[in-house]
A and B are shown apart, each in its own frame.
Chain A
Amino acid sequence: MSSFLFRVPAVFLLFASLLLPLSLRGAEKEWRVSLQWRLQSQFAGYIMAEHDGIYRKNGLNVKLIFYNTEGSYLSDLEAGKIDFVNCFLAEGVAAAAEGQDIRHAGQLCQSSALMFTARKSSGIRSMSDLAGRRVGVWYASPVRKMMTRFLENNGAVRCEIFPVAYSPVLFLYGGVDAVSATMYNEYFQIICSGIEPEELVNFELKKYFPGLADDALFARGDTLKNHADTAKKLVRCTLEGWEIAFRDKERTVEIITGMMHKQGLQSNRSHERWMLDRMEEIVFPNGKRHRGELGKQSFDAAMSAMGIRPEKLDFAAFAPLGAEGNDATEAPR
């Protein structure tokens, strides 16, 4: 009798000890992070951080959700369907300036790959040569406004803004004289369609908006307030993921194309490699490492590019964690 009384609690305790870690894991919050386009090397930092367990090692349970640009990730962020959003800084600035509850958590890309490209053979050598010409601008892009303003403010007077899809096909057919592009995506498609780089003239936005930066991580204000450490950790881990991605690019491309294949997405290894190389140039410009801080110059460039008046958005309020000097990624391991 006494042995029975002893065994029952022992068995109970044994099972409890086995189930406890599971229950704790189940209690662990899953942080939903959206990426604004499909799975590709543009998001290699996130992908490698997840793949190599960097998030897990730092106690983060991260779920990456790949949108396309026609998705409403900012709305989903506000609605609480996702916790963090990766998108262009200018996009986040514009949304915040319009009153959306979106705050800057970390500046992953410290430079910009946005550009326009044109054939030299069409007589275009400078921005002013775009005056009166037909220029294709992504019709669905959240930075459409920035791209359009860029043209208008830099000499391409009275050019015809022509809405185009995300592929440069219309440009290849000669339907537009110039087209918006990113250095890591559309530009590669163009030079792999029988056009030599020497035949093109590029107008990079960062040269006209010094400090302009692309991808950043955003969250709701309350998320940053209540989970500042998580946010900082997320930024730091993602930057570590970028480090891993750039350290062995062949491995990174291998992993990403494998994942694309599993998801039924068509993969072009050359394109992914090119994309990774260009991302390195904007994530760590000139090889300079950073901790994801948002510089005032970048903030101002984004504001200016989007045509937002300075008083519409306060820098410190916009970037409570990621502002320069805020030691964005300082978080205990």
Chain B
Amino acid sequence: MNALKKRLSSYNLTLKLSLSIGGMLLALFVVVAAIFGYVWFTDLTENLEHAGVTVAEEAAANINNVFAQSEQAALLLAKTLEQKKLSREEVVQEIEMMTRSINKNTPELIGVCVAYHPYKLDKNEKYNALLGFIDAKGNYRFNVFGDDHVQYFHRDWYMVPVTLRRPVWCVPFYSEGGINTMLLSYAVPFYLRNEKGEKEIGGAVVIDIKIDLFRKYLENAKINEYSKTFLMNQFGLIVIHPDPELELVHSIFSLGYENFDPVDRYKTLSVFRAAHKSGVVDFSKVPLLGKGGSQLFFARCLNDWIVGISIPSDWIVRQIMPRFWNFLFAWLCFMALVEIVILAVTRKINKPLSTLSKAAEAVGKGDFNAKLPELDTQDEIGKLSRSFLQMQSELDRYVADVKRNVAMRERMEGELSVARSIQNDLLPAKLPPFDNCPDVAMAAKLIPARTIGGDLYDSFVIDDEHLAITIGDVSGKGVPAALFMAVTQTMLRSLTVLEKSPEKLIFQLNNQLTAHNDSVMFVTYFLAIVNFRTGETVCTNAGHNPVLLIRSSSGDISELRSVHGPALGVVADQQYGSSRVTLESGDRLVLYTDGVTEAFNAAGEMFGMARLIQAAATAEPDAAPEALLRHILDRLKTFVGGAEQSDDITLSILEFKQRTVEQK
């Protein structure tokens, strides 16, 4: 099902529309055809049963007239023969009179025969069958037949009535007595009295009917072009049928004997054995009636012969099919017309859609100037086209803006890169900042959070004995902080030309920064002046993190907690103090910014002072500043993991290597 849906979704609009409308029309056709079929079926089958039985009964009634007259004539003549002892000549006269009379009234009755039992007409003559008939030309003829070759006593038309002692309608036979045609006969036995006055069989009176003459009654008895009307005797022998080859050769039972359906055979038997005079029987298959199913309307004649009208069950289909084909043809023409209209309409819709589609593809590839169709229609296609035009225009503007912004950003990044470079240049190129100083070892690292940062560190020589080391953290980030940092760095250096005291230097630096600080930035700052000869160190902390002092001799790590004043750039004329500490050989000062202690990992934990101290403590006791720096940074990196750096990280480590004391 999903595969089908996928396949259908891949079809174009024309095909989808054609399939859906075509499918709908086809479904509608089925419904309409079913309705029409039902109406036609009802119309055709209505009254068929009544009509079929009525027609059969009418034909039977017509045939019955002939039968009735035959019976009357035969019975009359038999009675005459019984009542009067007639001579041969008188019998011949009676025969002629009756023959002419019955034939005049009923042309089908063509012969009268009086067949005497052996020696009954003449005791010297065994055979005496006296026959009068009307020949094909309408002339009366008379014949006497019977001899050792034609022993009529054994013929059915004689033997049956004489044996049964009652009138019978005989099985049709071919007359050899001069008529020379297929006859149907009604035979009545008659009795004569012998010399003793006893009644004994005298012979049989036979009225002959030409079977062919019944044909006209059946030819007029039709229901429709598909029906077949036929006549059977009481034993099912086909007497008259539209197919002459079946007549008097087959019975309804013998034709296709081996193919007879058992149920149908039972129904056929019931037609002959039932008492009702007419009816309808449905057959699934009776070889006589047709290959498929059929209906039989029948009516019984007075001699138990059957007039049958068969109609194949598919006659309705044969009637309806031409109408159905016409209807189907008309519907198909209609569907074809609809499909043509669909094709024309969808082509009109598809053309601008196709152009839009190609233009969208071109736009997607970057050609914002791809030509779009300009439609002035107010329908959905027109609206879509105008929307697309607007989208193209907006997209064009947007792309231009993006390009401008990208250019600007690239420009800014370029400038930032330059600024970083300049900033890096402000940092000490080498540590310690002078050559050939075995007394001090230094290492420092600044890792900005962005392209450029607001942290700073510095180290420079003040005079032959003093070294300044600084670290600071400017508020904010980015270029403003970097500029402020650069200003701070530069100012301090220029101030140390005239002043050596840290607290005075910081005081002056603060005033300078505060004076031109419209942006209200500030910097936490730590300045230490180290006598690299003696290890004497004076430091001032302006709001910065406490510096760590690592004593080499004991390994103790302490914090120089004294804060001598607020961060720089906030309040002018702020007085700052200072602290003194004497460095022993191997002692180290660890200067850092809060980017170290306030570094967070992914779990939200802060590195903190304790970890910093622990990192410093776990380094090699005699590790050089460079190694100690790397160790602390490694521990920090491990702690932070993959978390984003949120602040500049700065570390500066000074190791005082020896103490040279001048003996005064």
Contact = CB atoms under 8 A, between A and B. Distances in A.
A175 to B, nearest CB: 4
Interface string B161-197: 0011000101100000000000000000000000000
Contact of A165 (B159, B168, B253, B256): B159
Contacts of B256: 270
Contacts of A176: 163
Q: Which of B236, B251, B255, B269 has the most CB of A within 10 A?
A: B251
Interface in A152-184: 162-165, 167, 169-170, 172-176
Of A70, A164, A165, A194, the most chain B CB neighbours within 10 A belong to A194
B315 interface: no
Contacts of B255: 270
A175 B248 contact: no
A164 B250 CA distance: 22
Interface string B142-169: 0000000100001110011001100010
Given A162-B163, A165-B155, A170-B159, A192 B249 contact: no
Contact of A266 (B154, B163, B248): B248
A193 to B, nearest CB: 4
A175 B164 CA distance: 6
A170 B156 contact: yes
Contacts of A163: 154
A172 B169 CA distance: 12
A267 B250 CA distance: 9
A273 B257 CA distance: 10
Given A173-B168, A194-B235, A165 B254 contact: no
Contacts of A193: 235-237, 251, 253
A268 B168 CA distance: 26
A274 interface: yes
A72 to B, nearest CB: 12
Contacts of B323: none
Interface residues of A, number: 28
Nearest to B155: A165
A169 B253 contact: no
A170 B163 contact: yes
B248 A192 contact: no
B258 interface: yes
Nearest to B166: A173
Given A165-B156, A170-B163, A268 B250 contact: yes
Contacts of B156: 165, 167, 169-170
B154 A165 contact: yes
Contacts of A164: 154, 159
Contact of B160 (A169, A196, A267): A169
A290 interface: no
A125 interface: no
B257 A192 contact: yes
B249 to A, nearest CB: 5
Interface residues of B, number: 27
A194 B235 CA distance: 6
Nearest to A190: B235
Contact of B159 (A70, A140, A175, A192): A175
Contacts of B253: 191-194
Given A139-B154, A165-B155, A192-B236, A175 B160 contact: yes
A91 B649 CA distance: 142
A297 to B, nearest CB: 34
B423 to A, nearest CB: 116
A206 interface: no
B170 to A, nearest CB: 8
A193 B273 CA distance: 12
Interface string B263-275: 0000001001100
A140 B153 CA distance: 12
Contact of B257 (A165, A194, A274): A274
Nearest to B268: A194
A139 B235 CA distance: 24
B252 to A, nearest CB: 9
Interface string B227-250: 000000001110000000000111
A325 B159 CA distance: 48
Contacts of A140: 154
Contacts of A274: 257
Interface of A: 70, 139-140, 162-165, 167, 169-170, 172-176, 188, 191-194, 196, 266-268, 270-271, 273-274
24 contacts: A70-B149, A139-B154, A163-B154, A165-B154, A165-B156, A167-B156, A169-B171, A170-B156, A170-B160, A173-B164, A175-B164, A192-B254, A193-B236, A193-B237, A194-B235, A194-B269, A194-B272, A194-B273, A266-B248, A266-B249, A268-B249, A270-B254, A270-B256, A270-B258
